[in-house]
C-alpha cells in the first residue's frame, strides 16, 4: 500500500494562487468523488483546505502523484507546470511525517497553533462522509491526532503562540493610540471571526458590529460581545462608520470593492482605516491596499507579526520533532505489516482446513466407539503431520541449496528456544 500527498501552503504559494484551490467544507465531498473517479484505482483520499494550505492525501496500490497534480491543476484552472512550481509532493514516510507535523502545528504560519488540528479533524469527517476514507488513511490521521496530542502535552510548543487574531489586535494597536476609541466591524461569523472578535472585545472598543449573510449566526456573535448585527447588503452604506474592518468569509469573490472603500474614505474625511483580510480567496480587492489612509493586511502580511514569538519556542521544536519521528516509524511499521495480511489470511485458512478435517475424522472414530485417548492421539498426530509435511518435503529435496534454505527456515520458525 502506497501513501502520497500533494499540497500548497503559505511557504510555497502566493495568496492569490492559494485562493484558486480554496474549498469550502460543503465542496469537499463532491470534490473527493471527482478526484477518486479521475484516478485509475479509486484510492482512499482526503482533502484539507484552510486559509494557509490545500493538501490532498491518498492511499492506494501505487502512487499516482502526477495524475493527482494534473487533476488539482485542472480544478483550479491553472497549468500543471505552474502548480508543480508552487507545490510539494510526498510519499509514504515523508507523507506521514508531513501529516503529523501539520497536525502538531509544526508546519503552520503560527508555530504550535491549535486551530489546524480542528480543521484536520473536520476534513477527516468530510472524507468519511464521502466514503473516501479507508483503513490506511484512517490510521494515518488517527495517529496524527495522537502525535499532536502528545506534542501539546509534552512540549511547550504552543506556550507563547501568537494567533492571527492576536496579531491583528497588535497591528491595530500600532495604528490607533487607544483601541477603546475604535469602532470595529467584523465581516463574517465563522470560527476565525469569532476568535478575532474575542481578542478585540477584550480591548473594549467603542463600537463592535458583525456583518453576515445570515443574521441568525451574526446575532449570536453580536449578542455575545455586546455588539450590533447588520446584513452584508448594508455594508457599502455603513463602511465609513468603522475605523477597523476584519473580514473572513467563504465568498469566492471579493465582497468589499475598491469603489466602496474610496466612498467610505471620502465620507470619513480621510481618517485612516485599518483593514484585515483573513479570507482565502480574498474578501477585499487587493487594489484597496494602494489607497492613502488605508492600512490593509492579508494573512500573508501577518506572517511577520506572528513570527516574532517563535524564537522562544525553538527549544521545544526538537522535542516535538522527536515525537513526530517516533510516530512516523510506528505508522510505517504498521503499513509494512499490512503487506503480510493476505499471506496471514491464507495461512489461517489452511490451518482451519486441516483442523476441520481432523475433527471430522475424530468424530467418526468416536461414533464407532474407538477409545477417546486413541482418537486424541490420532488427531494430534494427523495435525502435526499436515503442519510439518511441507518442511519435511523441503528437507528431503534433491537440491542442496533448497535443503540449506529449508534448514535455516525450519530452525528459525520451529526450533527457536526463546519466545
pLDDT, one tens digit per residue, over 2-11 is 999 999 999 9
Burial track 91-126 (b if 16+ CB lie within 10 A, e otherwise): ebeebbbbbbbbbbbbbbbbbbbebbbebbebbbeb
Distance of CA 94 to the CA centre of its chain: 14
Interatomic CA distance for residues 141 and 35, integer angstroms:
19
How far apart are the two ends of the chain, measured CA to CA in Å? Answer: 30
- pLDDT of 383 over the 60 cut: yes
Angle between helices 135-154 and 115-129 (to 10 degrees): 170
Active-site option among 51, 58, 196, 248: 51
User: Where would I find the H helices in 226-313?
Assistant: 235-238, 258-267, 303-307
pLDDT of 123 = 95
Work out the mean pLDDT of the chain and round it to a whole number. Answer: 89
What is d(CA 296, CA 183) in angstroms, rounded to the nearest whole number?
Answer: 16
Query: Per-residue pLDDT tens for 140-188?
Result: 999 999 999 999 998 888 776 677 888 899 899 999 989 999 999 999 9
Q: Give Rg (Cα) of the chain.
A: 31
Judge whether 103 and 116 are in contact, CB under 8 Å: yes
How distant, in Å, are the alpha carbons of 373, 385, 393, 404, 416 from that of 389? 24, 6, 6, 17, 19
Percent of the chain with pLDDT over 70: 96
Q: What whole-number percentage of the chain has pLDDT above 90?
A: 60
For 49-64, the pLDDT digits (tens) are: 998 899 999 999 899 9
Mind listing the pLDDT tens digit for each residue in 241-253?
999 999 999 899 9
C-alpha to C-alpha distance for 143 and 155, rounded to whole angstroms = 18
Task: Decide if 51 is catalytic.
Answer: yes
DSSP reduced 3-state for 251: coil
- What pLDDT sits at residue 139? 96
Quote the pLDDT of residue 417. Answer: 66
Residue 411 above 90 pLDDT?
no
pTM over 0.85: no
Summarised one tens digit per residue, pLDDT across range 108-151 is: 887 888 889 999 999 999 999 999 999 999 999 999 999 999 99
Residue 46 pairs with which residues in a beta bridge? 57
pLDDT at 398 over 80: no
Handedness of CA 254, 258, 259, 265 (dihedral sign): positive
Predicted confidence (pLDDT) per residue in 306-328, tens digit: 766 555 677 788 889 999 999 99
pLDDT for position 346? 80
Tell me, what's the pLDDT at 409? Answer: 80
Q: Helices in 176-229 by DSSP H: which ranges? A: 191-201, 215-225
Q: Are 137 and 46 in contact (CB under 8 A)?
A: yes
CA–CA gap between residue 170 and residue 190 (Å, rounded): 21
Please say whether the beta carbons of 188 and 248 come within 8 A: yes
Amino acid at each position: 500500500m502506497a501513501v502520497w500527498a500533494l499540497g500548497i501552503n503559505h511557504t510555497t504559494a502566493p495568496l492569490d494562487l492559494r485562493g484558486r484551490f480554496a474549498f469550502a467544507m460543503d465542496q469537499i465531498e463532491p470534490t473527493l468523488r471527482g478526484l477518486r473517479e479521475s484516478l485509475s484505482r479509486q484510492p482512499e483520499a482526503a482533502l484539507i483546505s484552510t486559509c494557509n494550505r490545500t493538501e490532498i492525501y491518498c492511499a492506494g496500490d501505487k502512487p499516482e502523484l502526477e495524475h493527482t497534480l494534473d487533476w488539482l491543476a485542472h480544478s483550479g484552472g491553472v497549468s500543471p507546470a505552474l502548480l508543480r512550481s508552487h507545490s510539494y509532493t510526498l510519499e509514504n514516510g515523508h507523507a506521514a511525517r508531513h501529516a503529523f507535523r501539520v497536525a502538531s502545528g509544526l508546519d503552520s504560519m503560527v508555530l504550535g497553533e491549535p486551530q489546524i488540528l480542528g480543521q484536520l479533524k473536520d476534513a477527516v469527517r468530510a472524507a468519511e462522509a464521502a466514503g473516501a476514507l479507508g483503513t490506511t488513511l484512517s490510521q494515518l490521521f488517527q495517529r496524527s491526532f495522537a502525535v499532536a496530542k502528545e506534542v501539546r502535552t509534552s512540549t511547550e510548543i504552543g506556550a507563547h503562540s501568537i494567533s492571527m487574531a492576536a496579531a491583528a489586535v497588535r497591528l491595530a494597536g500600532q495604528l490607533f493610540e487607544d483601541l477603546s476609541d475604535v469602532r470595529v466591524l467584523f465581516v463574517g461569523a465563522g470560527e476565525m471571526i469569532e476568535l478575532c472578535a474575542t481578542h478585540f472585545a477584550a480591548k473594549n472598543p467603542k463600537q463592535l458590529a458583525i456583518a453576515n449573510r445570515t443574521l441568525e449566526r451574526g446575532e449570536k456573535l453580536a449578542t455575545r460581545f455586546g455588539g450590533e448585527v447588520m446584513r452584508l447588503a448594508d455594508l457599502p452604506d455603513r463602511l465609513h462608520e468603522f475605523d477597523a474592518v476584519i473580514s473572513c468569509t467563504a465568498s469566492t469573490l471579493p465582497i468589499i470593492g475598491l469603489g466602496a472603500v474610496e466612498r467610505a474614505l471620502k465620507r470619513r474625511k480621510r481618517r485612516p482605516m485599518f483593514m484585515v483580510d483573513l479570507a482565502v480567496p480574498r474578501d477585499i480587492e487587493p487594489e484597496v491596499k494602494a489607497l492613502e489612509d488605508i492600512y490593509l493586511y492579508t494573512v500573508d502580511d501577518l506572517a511577520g507579526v506572528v513570527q516574532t514569538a517563535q524564537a522562544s519556542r525553538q527549544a521545544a521544536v526538537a522535542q516535538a520533532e522527536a515525537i513526530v519521528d517516533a510516530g512516523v516509524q510506528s505508522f510505517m511499521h504498521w503499513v509494512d505489516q499490512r503487506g503480510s495480511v493476505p499471506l496471514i489470511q491464507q495461512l489461517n485458512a489452511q490451518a482451519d482446513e486441516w483442523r476441520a478435517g481432523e475433527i471430522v475424522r475424530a468424530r467418526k472414530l468416536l461414533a464407532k466407539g474407538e477409545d477417546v485417548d486413541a482418537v486424541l492421539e490420532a488427531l494430534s498426530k494427523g495435525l502435526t503431520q499436515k503442519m510439518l509435511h511441507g518442511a519435511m518435503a523441503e528437507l528431503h529435496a534433491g537440491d542442496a541449496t533448497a535443503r540449506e534454505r529449508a534448514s535455516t527456515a525450519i530452525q528459525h520458525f520451529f526450533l527457536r528456544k526463546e519466545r
